A and B are shown apart, each in its own frame.
Chain A
Amino acid sequence: MTTTNWSDRSSFSVVGARRPRVDARQKVTGQSRDSSDVHPTGMLYARVLRSPFPHARIRSINASKASALPGVRGVIHHGNTPDIEWYKDGHVFEQVVRFVGDEVAAVAADTEDIAEDALRLIEVDYEPLPFAADLDAAMASDAPEVRPGGNFTEPEVYERGEPRAQLEQADVVIDGTYTTAAALHNALESHGGLASWEGDVLTLWDSTQAVFTVRAQVADALGLSLDRVRVVMDHMGGGFGAKQVAWKHSVLAALLSREAGRPVRLVLDRHAENLAAGNRNPTRQRVRLGARRDGTLIAIDVRIEAQVGAYEAGGESSDIAGAFQSVYRCDHVRTEQVGVFTNTGPAVAFRAPGHVEAAFALECSMDELARALQMDPVELRLKNYATRLQTADLPYSTPDSLRLCYERATEAFRPSEASPASGPSKRRGRGFAAHDWSGGGSPPAYAWIKLNPDGRVDLVTGTQDLGTGTRTGLAVIAAEELGLRVEDVHVHLGDTALGPYAPTSNGSKTLASVGPAVHSAARHVREQLLEEASSFVEERPDDLELSEGWIVKRGVPSDRVMSVADLTGRIAPKMLQGFGERGPNADGMAVRTFGAHFVELEVDTSTGQIDVLRVAASHDCGRILNPVTVESQVSGGIVQGLGYALMEERVLDPRAGVVLNANIEDYHVPTVADAPVVTHAHLDVPDPYANELGAKGIGEPPLVPTAPAIANAVYDALGARIRDLPITPARVLQALAERDEGADRPSGAAT
């Protein structure tokens, strides 16, 4: 077991205080520089020509007219560019394009408009091929091959116990097929950035969650050593998972920049963003749950089909099966997950990949089970929640957290407070759902602290802040450890050349991975600081400590020996530096995050419109460093989950293979009018096994239980179960019609 340094402390000076984020001022003044804002002298603009066909062989490309257009500085395509491997088993330019939006050619020009004009002058002779654009088409026995080798990934099967036999012996069996739609990340800043060469050194400013991953992938693609590629990301306009791998734009910009001898900006427009920069995989999940009459869950069996798209983009896998294996205590579980290739843009991780899709099917099935057993949905979960990680036979580090989340969410929701529906056609409903997820972090991650002559701190690490508040959290940790004000710490991140390695910002792990490295770097500086101070004041270092910018007598903060700035000024230009690294995780323990949501909504039965009124959210993210940014994450995740539940769907015409809403006009994301009132009921209990801070992540969890809680509330309101996301007004009206039709028929249909 790791004894946490912070778990021994009784009080904190800056940890846990409500404070604005450290970069808020730059962001409200328009001064924070996003990767798509970088604009060096002589910069060219690049645009990409994309396939209009879902599947086609390129017979020939003639770019001579485009190249001849004044202002065009480079045109690259399959015919004039070396083969560069990309995706799993793919290339930057393919001779066979496999989805509408697949990259065919790229142009760099003096202005965006000239680049756009040049694209229209490129002549491509396509031979259209048969295609399969959705699950049904790709799984048909006579389906055209999306990729050489077939339309399926190797099925992943997990089994413990005898779930099929148990299902036959169960008192109650729930059997339902759920579908989820392709959701588009739509981070407001699209994928893109700038490539610039100085000699043989390539610098990329990229809107990315993973500067070191982008560096590795681009260096590999271009045959460069790692020191010749520098990837920078200062601020970014969101990522939500889709920016955790390098995408083709980085390589295309680098190739064009090398050809033109000038910096090249390549930023995807919204249309391209929504075709070719990732999506949350659509799924079909057949779930069977078996239970005893007393509510004990005895079997879980699920078969999952997930639409991969035309290529495997890499990054975090979409582990849909995982939630079925872990959330509930059950000895008999079988999961089978298979990926299906389709002629659509590649899927990629989207905020809690897999778990969000799974939570919808699993938590709605649990609601169905509760209804069948005539049990309270929370009571059913209290009877079955897991306290250990059953796949690895390890205890959870916080075995009570899921139960506490159930209880706190229920308490904060105040179910007894009923308010009447707002009109005769309106029906109110309440729904509950809960989840688990990762977020404890792990090594490796490194940080570096420089104590300046004026007593202020430069904190350097190669992590990223997607808007999650990483900068603020890391500044708080360093300030706490060094007895400084948060504003005395300047955080520098997102630069592979200047910062030590930090992992991809995914899996809600950034704070729990990088935070301890910062903590360790700060301790390293503190030891040196006290050592230096002891030589000035003739006290033993052990008898000194740091408080509010002062070196003080241990245990007597009012006995100030000298200020930190005084000391650093006196020893200058000698500089104290701290090097920190993330330590190992605790053995024999599984660290997880947990959460539960209670939702109240109103359905208009005449229009099918759903108004989510309020959400009570309880989450366990360990120790909370700043409640303000936690609440921002939770409220924001709920809004995104609401979009997933009610409106977000990439609509594709299966006959043409064309996405019909590759924009944010027709692809609806929530607006201020959709945002519900959120009551926060987080646990704020340090996890002693997670790391020495006791802190875990909160980036992804708030999205996970939102959609099933909403779906369960819709059932509560209507008495009709909608098993397909998003729950659009059309689906509500259809469900009502089917319910009423069913009520007219003699009973028996349900047996």
Chain B
Amino acid sequence: MVSPASDVMLLVNGELRVARVEPRRTLLGVLREELALTGAKSVCEMGDCGACTVDLDGQPVYSCLILAVECDGHRIRTVEGLARAGGDGAETLDPVQQAFVECDALQCGFCTPGQIMSLRTLLDANTTPSDEEIRRAISGNLCRCGAYEHIVQAGHRAVELEAGR
């Protein structure tokens, strides 16, 4: 049952991190349990809900469906890596994060990191997405509180904020 563990090197939020993992360990498991990055949430463990969405080499992925060993040497960005430290020590939110705050695009907040990462990767690839493209980007992110209306608004607001930067 237990297979030998191996070291994986992950470039997480710009930092090189090394973790010793069994082959069956998912990227989500390593982020949450080994690297203390608990923004990505474990909900369904089968790629249905999107709460574990992270950015892998510029693509949004369900980190519960990817083995950590597959990510050796790859670049990963999580919700914890979006805000930028400002000169005065205060963090400046990413435009997508800022838009979620302004539009109240969250209730319990459990799906929020995944929603934000889906929209962040969309905006990285497409600075002027249509309403349809925004909706499609989060179509794999469930929100049980039903905040969808505000999440879509936040997608549009993020586009505005990004354009104004």
Q: Give me the interface of A with B, judged by CB distance under 8 Å.
A: 20-21, 23-34, 36-37, 39, 112-114, 117, 186-190, 235-238, 240, 267, 269-270, 466-469, 628-629, 631-633, 635-640, 663-665, 669-673, 675, 677-678
A30 to B37, CA, bound (A): 8
CB of B132 to closest CB in A, whole Å: 11
Q: Is the CB of A30 within 8 A of B139?
A: no
> In the complex, how many angstroms separate the beta carbon of A628 from the nearest chain B beta carbon?
5
Question: Once the chains are docked, how many angstroms separate the CA of A673 from the CA of B132?
Answer: 10
Closest A residue to B99 using CB positions:
A28
Query: What CA separation (Å) do A28 and B79 show in the bound complex?
Result: 8
Contact present for B149 and A635 (CB under 8 Å): yes
| B109-A27 in contact (CB<8A) | yes
Indicate if the CB atoms of A30 and B38 lie closer than 8 Å. Answer: yes
Q: Mark B14-51, 1 if CB is under 8 A from A, else 0.
A: 00000000101100010011001111111111101101
What is the CB-to-nearest-CB distance from A99 to chain B, in angstroms, rounded to a whole number?
A: 22
Interface string of B77-94 (1 = CB under 8 A from A): 011101100000001010
User: In this complex, what residue of B is CB-closest to A114?
Assistant: B2
Task: Give A314 Cβ to nearest chain B Cβ, in Å.
Answer: 23
* Min CB–CB distance B115 → chain A (angstroms): 9
A664 to B43, CA, bound (A): 9
> Given the complex of chains A and B, what is the CA–CA distance between A267 and B32 in angstroms?
14
Give chain B's interface secondary structure class. loop
Closest A residue to B114 by CB, please name it: A188
Pick the 4 closest A-B CB pairs, nearest first: A30-B39, A467-B108, A639-B146, A237-B110
Determine if B151 is an interface residue (Cβ-Cβ < 8 Å): yes
Q: Which residues of B contact A237 (CB under 8 A)?
A: 41, 43, 108-111
Q: Does B138 contact A (CB under 8 A)?
A: yes
Q: Are B104 and A467 in contact (CB under 8 A)?
A: no
> Which of the residues B45, B82, B116, B141 comes within 8 Å of A270, measured between beta carbons?
B45
* A23 to chain B: closest residue by CB: B109
**Given A269-B45, A270-B45, 8 other A-B contacts at CB below 8 A?**
A30-B39, A31-B80, A34-B38, A39-B33, A39-B36, A189-B41, A635-B148, A640-B144
A665's partner among B29, B40, B48, B135 (CB-CB below 8 A) is B48
B97 near A: Cβ within 8 Å?
A: yes
- Asked if B112 CB lies within 8 Å of chain A CBs, one says yes
* B100/A28 in contact, CB under 8 A: yes
Residues on A with C-beta less than 8 A from B22 are 113
CB-contact partner of B152 in A186, A238, A466, A672, under 8 A: A672
Q: Report if A113-B24 is in contact (Cβ < 8 Å); known contacts: A27-B112, A34-B110, A665-B46.
A: yes
CB of A113 within 8 A of CB of B25, answer yes
Q: How many residues of B contact A (CB 8 A)?
A: 59
Inter-subunit contact A20/B102 (CB<8 Å): yes
A interface footprint on B125-149 (CB within 8 Å = 1, 0 otherwise): 0000000000100110111111111
Q: Contact between A637 and B41 (Cβ–Cβ < 8 Å)?
A: no
List residues of chain B with CB within 8 A of the CB of A675: 146, 148-149, 152
B42–A36 CB distance below 8 A: yes
Q: Which of B93, B100, B145 contacts A238 (CB 8 A)?
A: B145
A28 lies within 8 A of B93 (CB): yes
* B108–A238 touching, CB < 8 Å: yes
Question: Once the chains bind, are B78 and A30 in contact (CB under 8 Å)?
Answer: yes
Q: Do the beta carbons of A672 and B148 come within 8 Å of each other?
A: yes
A672 partner residues in chain B, CB cutoff 8 A: 135, 138-139, 141, 143, 148, 151-152
Q: Would you give the shortest CB distance from B122 to chain A, in whole angstroms?
A: 13
Max count, chain B CB within 10 A of own CB: residue among A30, A112, A632: A30
Return A367 CB to nearest CB of chain B, in Å: 25
Task: Give chain A residues whose Cβ lies under 8 Å from the Cβ of B143.
Answer: 188, 672
> By CB atoms of chain B within 10 A, which of A25, A671, A672 has the most?
A672
Complex alpha-carbon distance, A673 and B149, angstroms = 10
Interface CB pairs A-B, < 8 A, 10: A29-B91, A30-B39, A34-B38, A113-B2, A236-B108, A466-B108, A628-B104, A637-B146, A675-B146, A677-B149
Q: Is the CB of A467 within 8 A of B79?
A: no
Q: Out of B43, B45, B46, which one reaches A188, CB within 8 Å? A: B43
Q: Which of B79, B111, B145 is in CB contact (< 8 Å) with A29?
A: B79
Q: Which residue of B lies closest to A670 (CB)?
A: B146
Nearest to B116 among chain A residues (CB) is A28
Are A635's CB and B113's CB within 8 A?
no
Using A188-B43, A270-B44 as known contacts, say yes or no to A29 and B80 having CB atoms under 8 A apart.
yes
B80:A30 contact, CB within 8 angstroms: yes
> How many whole Å from B147's CB to the nearest CB in chain A?
6
Residue of A nearest to B154 (CB): A28
B97 with A187: CB separation less than 8 A: no
The answer to whether A664 touches B44, judged by C-beta atoms less than 8 angstroms apart, is yes
Complex CA gap A267/B29 in Å reads: 14
Q: Is the CB of A669 within 8 A of B46?
A: no
User: A71's closest neighbor in chain B, by CB?
Assistant: B2
Let me know if B146 and A640 touch, CB within 8 A.
Answer: yes
Report the nearest A residue to B82, measured CB to CB.
Answer: A29
* B1: interface (CB < 8 Å): yes
Q: With CB as the reference atom, state the residue of chain B lying closest to A626.
A: B104
Closest chain A CB from B143 CB (angstroms): 8
Distance in angstroms between the alpha carbons of A20 and B153 in the assembled complex: 14
Asked if residues A188 and B51 are in contact (CB atoms below 8 Å), the reply is yes
Which residues in A have their C-beta under 8 angstroms from that of B161? none
Q: Are B79 and A30 in contact (CB under 8 A)?
A: yes
A297 to chain B, nearest CB (A): 33
Q: How far is the CA of A26 from the CA of B100 in the complex (A)?
A: 11
Q: A188-B49, A188-B111 are in contact. Are A20 and B104 (CB under 8 A)?
A: yes
Please name the residue on chain B nearest to A19 by beta carbon.
Answer: B104
Closest to A21 in B: B104
Tell whether, in the assembled complex, residue B116 and residue A112 are in contact, meaning their CB atoms are under 8 Å apart.
no
Q: Name the distance in Å between A190's Cβ and chain B's nearest Cβ.
A: 7
Q: Which residue of B lies closest to A18 (CB)?
A: B104
Q: Is the CB of A117 within 8 A of B2?
A: yes
Complex CA distance for A187 and B51, rounded to whole angstroms: 12
Contact, CB under 8 Å: A117 / B1: yes
Asked whether, in the complex, the Cβ of B24 is within 8 Å of the Cβ of A636, the reply is: no
Say yes or no: is B156 at the interface (Cβ < 8 Å to chain A): no
A-contact bits for B54-92, CB 8 A (1 contact / 0 none): 000000000000000000000000111011000000010
Q: How far in angstroms is the closest Cβ of chain A from B52?
A: 11
How far does the alpha carbon of A269 sit from the alpha carbon of B46 in the complex, in Å?
11
Asked if A632 contacts B147 (CB within 8 A), the reply is yes
B37 close to A678 (CB less than 8 A): no
Closest Cβ neighbor of B47 among chain A residues? A665
Q: Which residues of chain B have C-beta atoms less than 8 A from A671's C-beta?
A: 139, 142, 148
Report A85 CB to chain B, min CB distance, Å.
Answer: 32
Q: How far is the CB of A52 from chain B (nearest CB, A)?
A: 20
